[in-house]
Structure 1
Amino acid sequence: MSGGRAPQLQGAVARSPFPPIASFAFLSDCHTGALVAPDGAVGWLCPPRFDAPSVFATILDRQAGYFRFAPFDVNAPSARTYEPGTNVLITTWKTPTGWAEVRDALTVVPRATSDTTTPHTRAPDDADAAHCLVRTVRCFAGHVEMELLCEPVFDYGRVDAVWEAADEHSATASGAGSSLRLRSDLRLGIQGGHVRARHTLHAGEQAFCSLSWADDLDGPASVEEASDDLDSTAAFWRDWLSDATIPDHPWREALERSALTIKGLTYMPTGATVAALTTSLPETPGGERNWDYRYTWIRDSSFTVQALHYLDLDWEADEFVEFLSGLETNDDGSLQIMYGIDGRRDLTEHALDHLTGYRGSRPVRTGNGAFAQRQNDLYGAVLDAILMHSRRSQRVPRSLWPLIRSQAESASVAWREPDQGIWEARGEPQHYVSSKIMCWVALDRAAKLGRIVGDAERATEWRSVADEIAADVIGNGLSDRGVLRQHYGTDALDASALLAAIYGFLEPDDERLRATVLAIADELSEDGFALRYRTDETDDGLTGREGTFLICSFWLVSALTIIGEGKRARALMEKLLRIVSPLGLLAEELDTETGQHLGNFPQAFSHLALIEAARRIIMIERLIEFV
């Protein structure tokens, strides 16, 4: 033997200890969320609310908190799925000696008293978060040795847990001013910073564990109570989804999962929606494009309201618009580009240098420095949302008129100024074309709202400004070949120009719109999926490449449909639906070379754009049926 490696090992690459982003399951109680890895370990959980510090964060650092409830020494399940119509996870395990099924959920149960853990500022639902992660297991063949290992590390992996046992079946972990109570019918043993249990189940036997962060640390104390809470949670999700109108179409499953994901990313106490569950999952593994997305982006508002109304989820749309109406504006009357889920304005960015980051992607960030940027596109997003909501409800609430006026007046001034653009570029401000278009949307929608409330004078004034913006964009925002530019100082393409189609800035039969959409489809894509822009053509203040942006690909589907390229639009839509995660979820980006999902996960904007794109194609198909 030469001592060298066998030929089949040469060039082999060791598997990363970090599971693929798309392999995680998403759980939610509409106050916070969790990600569960295929091996049954919780990779992300921030109790009691989405933007709180993590207690389990192995998705960002393998030492930052761990909680597994699964068969001992078996890491790959046989199957994982959601109970239909829910965010309750079912994992099926095959071991050398038997079969078992684990149910996981952040539980939502009927509530008769006020929530003191995360108090509501909006009218609470009949069911609300129990502030508890519940996990049950049932052995249905042979026998299975189960392991429970719970090792929280508080404050983003900085503070080890101190455990105190109440008895063999209950223990409380404390650290950084927070407490968690673990219960199980397995016998628990404290070993330093973690609790462990092992037990063999035989066919027909069940077990449970629960982890509570409620004010009173209450949670199920038996497998029967745990199963009841899981059943109540499944009923909550199914009852909610039954209120939605989902088209009878082959894409029903994708639409249902997108709706459940968007609801799961909604913070029930205020009606706000987080952009994604996580922080700092990278756009480029090993790179610096890592951001905290656990906040509400104002630009998402029109897509959120549109999707909710399309699915007849009018209550959720109303809650979101109410959240918008209560936000504190800047001194000039404009809104920030993003807010905390409780409406707070200060989202100062910090680096968590003690964390390794996902696959070495650093820095890990909390907060988001873009909150202080000027982004002129948000005026249009807000007013488009309000117009859609007002048409649906047949009224403009009195509380919204001051917001309508302030956003229209701010857009009337801001459209002339450069900004950071929709992609929050950290380079020099530019006259971004999509920002100008969205300012046009703001004044166009404001004029229509003015007519609805009977303020003809302001409506005429705002219409005049909208026409002025349109003329400026046509005069300065088109290249020599009649394609919308990224900004006035370049001929580079930008996928945000597709908003000209989606928001009706140009008519569907306008050759300039057609040229723009086809240029993006043909020249700003990788393997058919759209990029935001070419990083070598854009000063975004960052280094490294990025994957294709899924929202841009869905926008491209919508835009192709609008200009009459239905066959091409449907082909791209089908291609996009083939790359959803095994559980039907979407991240922010896709690496077309590896097929890996990149960026924060799951991403609300991607699912909102999926609904918008599907809506346009399905509407055309329904119209064709009557021709």
Structure 2
Amino acid sequence: MLRLTTDRRLGIEDSIAIIRSRMTEGEEAFIALSWTSLPPPRTWEEATQKQWQTTEFWRQWITVGEFPDHPLREELQRSALTLKGLTYAPTGTLIAAPTTSLPETPGGERNWDYRYTWVRDSTFALWAVYTLGLDREADDFFSFIRAVAAEDDLQLMYGVGGERDLPESRVEGLGGYDGARPVRIGNAAVHQRQLDVWGTMLDSVYLHTKSRDQLPEPLWPVLLRQIEQAASHWRDTDHGIWEVRGEPQHFTSSKLMCWVALDRGGPLARLHGEADYARKWDSIAEEIRDDICRNGLDDRGVFVQSYGTTNLDASLLLVPLVRFLPANDPRVRATVLADADELTQNGLVLRYRPEQTDDGLTGAQGITMCSFWLVSALVEIGEVARAKALCEHLLSHASPLGLYAEELDPVNGRHLGNFPQAFTHLALINALMHLIRVEETDRAKQFSPAHRNR
């Protein structure tokens, strides 16, 4: 974390100049946004008091978490603090990023408004906060997910207050960072059809229920409606996890998350005493699995982006993470290694090859969370040394404040896109905990008791 020693002899402008000299471009934009939204202190004493109060709040909050005694502890805490900072307290929502239109590609058109909450983030968010012992944040976010899921149609994203209507518009005549255009307000992706939304929601409920070993009665009709939606529509085309603005396709990862919805639905139904629904959903889950394994694999046994193609896609790194197949399955290993060897550039994972994907836009791309997904997936298939090396490489790209934007330029490591990005930090926590747990398991196997019974 960046620390600036206060000095009464420094004026505000000098202080800002020192801070900016040590920040990345994304951090400068983020801090500038925060700076202008807060009323300035009127005196030096008031500023010092507010700084102390703020520091003390965060110091006390971080002690609530359960962080492992490990060299990676600081990175976990930094990401936890970031997620807390991205949480809207009145509703418990976790926004994707606090910025809009910071360009994914300098001079390009991939400039989006991320000041909303995605249901897709919910599974990773709840997994992260439960793992780190942050139960209050988990309860608040789950309450929000539960509330929006109770509506007839589950959207893929919402406003921080639960708003459903997020019209996208362009601010004409205004250039964003480094002249980036267009500057967008709102996000038209809210109107897209994305089948994975049911899987992420059900996985969230499954995680929440496991942590409490009970399914609240009012939640059952909500689950019933969402699981039945997945059961009815899993054969449909959609715009996929990357929200492509080209033609809908049969994206493999979308089918995968529909499988998650049905797979998690079975145990939840049994917990609620609904054996008939459990059997029905288990059967459909097997049908989806068979369909994916028949149509979503190429001749090498690698899971591909969409049915009928041979395109690689980083979203299929989720195959072992959502337990679709055992980590030692040859198809899982082939997929992870194919992405590691063929979908990376200078050690950073691309989400897909843009020349192979009709996403309706121009310009290259790559999302940092995909690289952290690869760390977790490599651990799952036993490639621990390779996972550690990749993780060290990624951690070396952190900003001076230990933050990550949505993307890292694979050529020069420059942070690109909206900043800081919640999904990146969620994937980071998942990756680090994978490494920490495998180390703990290895140490346990090496332990030899001092005395043996004869």
TM-score normalized by the length of structure 1: 0.66
Tell me which amino acid in the other structure corresponds to 1:256.
Q
What does residue range 52-67 of structure 1 map to in structure 2 within 5 Å? none
* Residue 469 (structure 1) aligned with residue 288 (structure 2): yes
| Alignment match of 2:86 (pick from 262, 265, 268) | 265
What does residue range 532-551 of structure 1 map to in structure 2 within 5 Å? 532-546=351-365, 548-551=366-369
Tell me which amino acid in the other structure corresponds to 1:358.
Y
1:365-404 residue CA offsets vs partner (Å, 9 max, x unmatched) = 0100000000001111111111111111222223322221
Q: What displacement does 1:414 show?
A: 1.5
* Residue 367 (structure 1) aligned with residue 186 (structure 2): yes
What does residue range 73-112 of structure 1 map to in structure 2 within 5 Å? 75-76=17-18
Q: 3-state SS of the aligned residue for 2:13?
A: strand
Distance, in Å, in 2 between the alignment partners of 1:279 and 1:249 is 35
1:324/1:25 Cα in 2 relative to 1: closer, same or farther (>3 Å)?
Answer: farther
Contact 2:113 2:186 in 1 (8 A): yes
Q: 3-state SS of the aligned residue for 1:484?
A: coil
Q: What displacement does 1:230 show?
A: 2.0
| Alignment match of 2:380 (pick from 562, 571, 594) | 562
Q: What displacement does 1:416 show?
A: 0.6
* Residue 249 (structure 1) aligned with residue 70 (structure 2): yes
Query: Match for residue 311 of structure 1?
Result: 132
Q: What displacement does 1:224 show?
A: 2.9
1:537/1:234 Cα in 2 relative to 1: closer, same or farther (>3 Å)?
Answer: same
Distance, in Å, in 2 between the alignment partners of 1:414 and 1:78 is 50
What does residue range 118-267 of structure 1 map to in structure 2 within 5 Å? 211-212=38-39, 221-267=42-88
Contact 2:295 2:308 in 1 (8 A): no
Tell me which amino acid in the other structure corresponds to 1:554.
F
Q: 3-state SS of the aligned residue for 2:53?
A: helix
1:328/1:513 Cα in 2 relative to 1: closer, same or farther (>3 Å)?
Answer: closer
* Residue 431 (structure 1) aligned with residue 250 (structure 2): yes
Query: Match for residue 589 of structure 1?
Result: 407
1:468/1:555 Cα in 2 relative to 1: closer, same or farther (>3 Å)?
Answer: same
Q: What displacement does 1:77 show?
A: 5.2
1:327-373 residue CA offsets vs partner (Å, 9 max, x unmatched) = 1666xx34101000000100110001221122222101010000000
Tell me which amino acid in the other structure corresponds to 1:402.
P
* Residue 624 (structure 1) aligned with residue 442 (structure 2): yes
State the identity as a percent.
Answer: 53
1:478/1:105 Cα in 2 relative to 1: closer, same or farther (>3 Å)?
Answer: closer
Q: What displacement does 1:268 show?
A: 0.3
Tell me which amino acid in the other structure corresponds to 1:379.
W
Which 5+ residue runs of structure 1 have no aligned equivalent? 1-23, 27-35, 37-67, 82-88, 92-103, 107-131, 134-151, 153-179, 181-210, 213-218
Larger radius of gyration: 1
* Residue 611 (structure 1) aligned with residue 429 (structure 2): yes
Relative contact order, CA 8 A, sep 6+: which one is greater?
2
| Alignment match of 2:263 (pick from 431, 434, 444) | 444
Query: Match for residue 321 of structure 1?
Result: 142
Distance, in Å, in 2 between the alignment partners of 1:328 and 1:485 is 30
| Alignment match of 1:336 (pick from 143, 155, 172) | 155
Distance, in Å, in 2 between the alignment partners of 1:239 and 1:76 is 28
Distance, in Å, in 1 between the alignment partners of 2:270 and 2:368 is 37
Q: What displacement does 1:513 show?
A: 0.6
Distance, in Å, in 2 between the alignment partners of 1:308 and 1:434 is 24
Query: Match for residue 315 of structure 2?
Result: 496
Q: Which has the higher strand share?
A: 1
* Residue 69 (structure 1) aligned with residue 12 (structure 2): yes
Q: 3-state SS of the aligned residue for 2:120?
A: helix
What does residue range 504-543 of structure 1 map to in structure 2 within 5 Å? 504-543=323-362
1:126-145 residue CA offsets vs partner (Å, 9 max, x unmatched) = xxxxxx96xxxxxxxxxxxx
Q: Which has the higher helix share?
A: 2
Query: Match for residue 7 of structure 2?
Result: none
Tell me which amino acid in the other structure corresponds to 2:62.
L
Tell me which amino acid in the other structure corresponds to 2:132.
L
Q: 3-state SS of the aligned residue for 1:584?
A: coil
Tell me which amino acid in the other structure corresponds to 1:297.
W
* Residue 277 (structure 1) aligned with residue 82 (structure 2): no
Tell me which amino acid in the other structure corresponds to 2:328.
D
Distance, in Å, in 1 between the alignment partners of 2:222 and 2:386 is 40
Q: What displacement does 1:450 show?
A: 1.0
1:583-627 residue CA offsets vs partner (Å, 9 max, x unmatched) = 100001111212201110000000000000111111111111111
Distance, in Å, in 2 between the alignment partners of 1:436 and 1:458 is 20
1:74-115 residue CA offsets vs partner (Å, 9 max, x unmatched) = 94559869xxxxxxx9x9xxxxxxxxxxxx999xxxxxxxxx
Query: Match for residue 209 of structure 2?
Result: 390
Query: Match for residue 293 of structure 1?
Result: 114
Query: Match for residue 599 of structure 1?
Result: 417
Alignment length, in residue pairs? 434
Contact 2:67 2:132 in 1 (8 A): yes
Tell me which amino acid in the other structure corresponds to 2:313.
D
Contact 1:105 1:230 in 2 (8 A): no
Distance, in Å, in 2 between the alignment partners of 1:105 and 1:615 is 32
Q: 3-state SS of the aligned residue for 2:398?
A: coil
Distance, in Å, in 2 between the alignment partners of 1:440 and 1:378 is 12
TM-score normalized by the length of structure 2: 0.91
1:202-254 residue CA offsets vs partner (Å, 9 max, x unmatched) = xxxxxxxxx53xxxxxx855433332222221111111110001111111111
Query: Match for residue 298 of structure 2?
Result: 479
Query: Match for residue 349 of structure 1?
Result: 168
Distance, in Å, in 2 between the alignment partners of 1:296 and 1:398 is 26
Distance, in Å, in 2 between the alignment partners of 1:313 and 1:78 is 32
Distance, in Å, in 1 between the alignment partners of 2:350 and 2:341 is 11
1:273-295 residue CA offsets vs partner (Å, 9 max, x unmatched) = 10011001111010000100000
Distance, in Å, in 2 between the alignment partners of 1:76 and 1:239 is 28
Contact 1:329 1:336 in 2 (8 A): no
Q: What displacement does 1:428 show?
A: 0.4
Distance, in Å, in 2 between the alignment partners of 1:71 and 1:572 is 38
Q: 3-state SS of the aligned residue for 2:209?
A: helix
Tell me which amino acid in the other structure corresponds to 1:234.
T
Once the two structures are overlaid, the 10-residue window that deviates more, 321-330 or 611-620, is 321-330
Contact 1:276 1:601 in 2 (8 A): yes
Distance, in Å, in 1 between the alignment partners of 2:364 and 2:441 is 41
